[in-house]
Amino acid sequence: MRNGSILVTTVIILVIVSVLGISVFFAFNQYRENVGLTAQRLEATYRASNILSLGVACLKKHFGFSGMEINWSTGSVTWFDDFRKRVLLQSDGDAWENVFSLLDTEKYYNLSSDIDFSTEASKLGFSNFEAVAIPFENNPFFALLVVRAQVGKAVVYKYAVLSSDFLNKYAYFTEKETRPDGDKIYFITQDTIDGPFRSNDVIHVKGEPLFKASVEFKGIEVEAGNGPRYENPPPKYLTDEDIEKYKMSKIKDYYAREIEKIVKPASEAVNSVEPVGIELPAAKIVENGYDGHKFYKIQLETAYIIEFNTPRGNSENDYLIKVKYKEMYREYVSNDMNNWYFVGETEGKEFNLFHIKPKPNSDLYHLVIQRNEAKKLLGLDRNEYDIYFNGVIKTDSDVYLRNMSEGRGKPMFVDGKYTIVAKNIYIEDPIIYNDYREVLETIADLEGIKGNSDQKIAEVEIRPLDENGDVKTEEYAEMIKNHESDDFLNLVSFNDVVVKEKRKNMKIFASIYAFDGSFYVEGYNSGDPKGELTIFGSLMQYVRGPVGTFHWTKNGKPEIETGYRKNYIYDWRILKGFSVFGTPTVPKESNILNVREVY
- The Cα–Cα gap between 232 and 193 comes to 12
The angle at the Cα of 391, spanning 388 to 394, to the nearest 5 degrees, equals: 110
- Hey, what amino acid is at 433? Y
Nearest to residue 532, comparing CAs of 547, 512, 552, 514? 547
Backbone dihedral angles phi then psi of residue 573, each to the nearest 5 degrees: -60, -25
pLDDT at residue 20, rounded to an integer: 63
Helices (H), 60-92: 80-88
d(CA 489, CA 259): 16
The residue among 123, 135, 32, 119 whose CA lies nearest residue 75 is: 135
Distance of CA 510 to the CA centre of its chain: 9
CB of 445 within 8 A of CB of 479?
no
* pLDDT at residue 199 in the model: 97
Long-range CB contact pairs, 436-444, < 8 A, 24+: 436/480, 436/483, 436/485, 436/487, 436/509, 436/536, 437/413, 439/479, 439/480, 439/483, 442/479, 443/476, 443/479
Instruction: Assess contact for 418 and 469: CB atoms under 8 A.
Output: no
pTM attached to this predicted model: 0.88
Q: How far are the Cα atoms of 54, 158, 210, 394, 481 from residue 145, in angstroms, in the given order?
A: 11, 8, 35, 34, 28
Q: What angle do CA 582, 585, 588 make, to 5 degrees?
A: 130
Q: Report the distance separating Cα 182 and Cα 175, nearest Å.
A: 15
> CA–CA separation, 375 vs 364, rounded Å?
20
DSSP state of 579: -
Helix (H, G, I), strand (E, B) or coil at 295: strand
pLDDT at 34: 59
The pLDDT assigned to 85 comes to 96
Residue pair 566/547 in contact (Cβ under 8 Å)? The answer is yes
pLDDT tens string for the chain (599 positions)?
Answer: 555 566 666 666 666 666 666 655 555 555 556 566 789 999 999 999 999 999 999 999 999 999 999 999 999 999 999 999 999 999 988 989 999 999 999 999 999 999 999 999 999 888 889 999 999 998 999 999 999 999 999 999 999 999 999 999 999 999 999 999 989 999 999 899 999 999 999 999 999 999 999 999 999 999 988 999 999 989 999 999 999 989 999 999 999 999 999 999 999 999 999 999 999 998 777 788 888 788 999 988 889 999 999 887 666 678 999 999 988 888 999 998 889 999 998 888 888 999 999 998 999 999 999 988 899 989 999 999 999 999 999 999 999 999 988 667 899 999 999 999 999 999 999 999 999 999 999 999 999 999 999 999 999 999 999 988 889 999 999 999 999 999 999 999 999 999 999 999 999 999 999 999 999 999 999 999 999 999 999 999 999 999 999 998 888 788 899 999 999 999 999 888 788 999 999 999 999 988 999 99
Give pairs for 311-315: CB < 8 Å, separation 24+. 311/357, 311/358, 311/415
Q: What is the pLDDT of residue 316?
A: 65
